[in-house]
Structure 1
């Protein structure tokens, strides 16, 4: 079952001896529902990855960095999650990915991607948008 857009999953593992771009690794791209589930079923969940690491899911061709042309004028919504419940983290991340790849909201074209950050104090999930000044789209998202 084809998706409207092709998506790329990235993994960032913190290593202070490397530049940010050197730490960012493209895991895989997919453009079907079946390939999405195949990927998700063969990688670690966010609660299982190394502290300081990130997963990033972005439309193919958009790199998960503010300097990317698609993100320069964008914004992001950030959800901070309590570290006590790992299931919440994994479920919220899965729900976020499904919303992105399903592109079923009115402003799906505004969505660039999402990031889950695994940190010592709190984990975060952020949704990145293409236009931070589009108030109507921001409220819908």
Structure 2
């Protein structure tokens, strides 16, 4: 996981190319890059970067590969169609640059209509309990009051995405399957899905790091529910297996 944020050394020539192309890039992207152009996944994965459109000089440089390939899914609750038909694959990406291109081109979660979901999962894992890599797992669930939608929701969802693609849970990142955001009338929910609910050490490590990354207060408690428990009853009735 740590190497996912390690520095990538650039040659002097590349550095000069960056300097030359920076003014055009800032004008085009409307983004301030600060003193140094980014040279690490860590810098590139900073939430403050938001949309980043590379200029001509930047686009020739090496892309920053992610450890995993990820797929973004969109779910729209249309009662006239089956659940499977309502689930659509939006795109797949495996570089930092393609992540930001994707993020800047989709609607913010706070702007989605009620009943819609976004899901980001490792390529090959479908965002449903029935998938073989999900069925023995569970989820860390963050429930948000209605008034938080326009103040905190988008920030928390973006931070969740960055935790996933940046492999923020060290060696336990391999336990992560994906994350889902549910936009609902009463409460919105964000959940990180892991593959093995019985892996107490891994699940608790992920929960603690995730809570810290979201900047939740120590008084706020988030719970982990096994999919097997939530599949048989509504999530509001399912018992928490772990809490942090």
Q: Give the TM-score, by structure 1 length.
A: 0.98
Deviation, structure 1 residue 87: 2.9
> CA RMSD, aligned part only?
0.7
What number of residue pairs does the alignment pair up?
A: 141
SS at match of 1:41: helix
Aligned to 2:159: 95
Distance 1:26 1:83 in 2: 27
SS at match of 1:100: helix
Q: 2:96 aligns with which of 26, 33, 45?
A: 33
Aligned to 1:135: 200
Aligned to 2:131: 68
Question: Higher relative contact order by CA 8 Å / sep ≥ 6: 1 or 2?
Answer: 1
Aligned to 1:44: 107
Deviation, structure 1 residue 72: 1.1
Deviation, structure 1 residue 104: 2.6
Aligned to 1:10: 73
Distance 2:167 2:101 in 1: 19
SS at match of 2:146: coil
Distance 1:88 1:137 in 2: 27
Distance 2:205 2:162 in 1: 17
Deviation, structure 1 residue 26: 0.3
Larger Rg: 2
Distance 1:49 1:75 in 2: 25
Structure 1, unmatched stretches of 5+, are: none
